[in-house]
Amino acid sequence: MSDADRRPRILFLCTGNSCRSQMAEGWAKALRGGVIEAHSAGTKPHGLNPLAIRAMAEVGIDITGHASKRPEEIGVAFDVVVTVCDSAHESCPVMPGAKVVHRGFDDPPRLAAGAASDDEAMPHYRRVRDEIRAFIETLPASVLA
């Protein structure tokens, strides 16, 4: 396949690569896998969030096989880096040739910090999950323009 024929490589970047970027990668592979090559990473990865896994499972997307990682561990050059949190946007590593687009989403763990149970926390995860889906449905046009 020529370089012109390959799908654009999009990296979804957040701080921990535990929740928002993982959801974005899951949605992108499920909804836009035929037109983009999706990856996720974190500036300070610290493992998958179990409630993010649960939120995605509720809509039929299994992210249990995802791993929390740094961008350089993926081993490919990216066409676009989408920062999905303000912290990652402020500390985005330089990736030559990649266009950086910021689309911040609320942090479900922070929103759910006062929740008495996982069930009480889930509405925050569901809202952000659904907001990320709406954004993913606009790809690749919204980030390649």
- Quick check: is 19 catalytic? no
- Quick check: is 85 catalytic? yes
Give the C-alpha separation, 80 to 37, whole Å. 10
Catalytically annotated residue among 30, 92, 100, 112:
92
Give the C-alpha separation, 57 to 37, whole Å. 21
Residue indicated by tokens 């889930």 = 122
Catalytically annotated residue among 10, 13, 14, 51:
14
Q: Is 126 helix (H, G, I), strand (E, B) or coil?
A: helix
Catalytically annotated residue among 48, 84, 85, 121:
85
Contacts of 64 (CB under 8 A, 6+ apart): 48, 53
Amino acid at 15: T
Give the pair of three-digit tokens for residue 135. Answer: 């954004």
**What number of other Cβ atoms are within 10 A of residue 33's Cβ?**
11
Indicate which residues carry an active-site annotation: 14, 85, 92
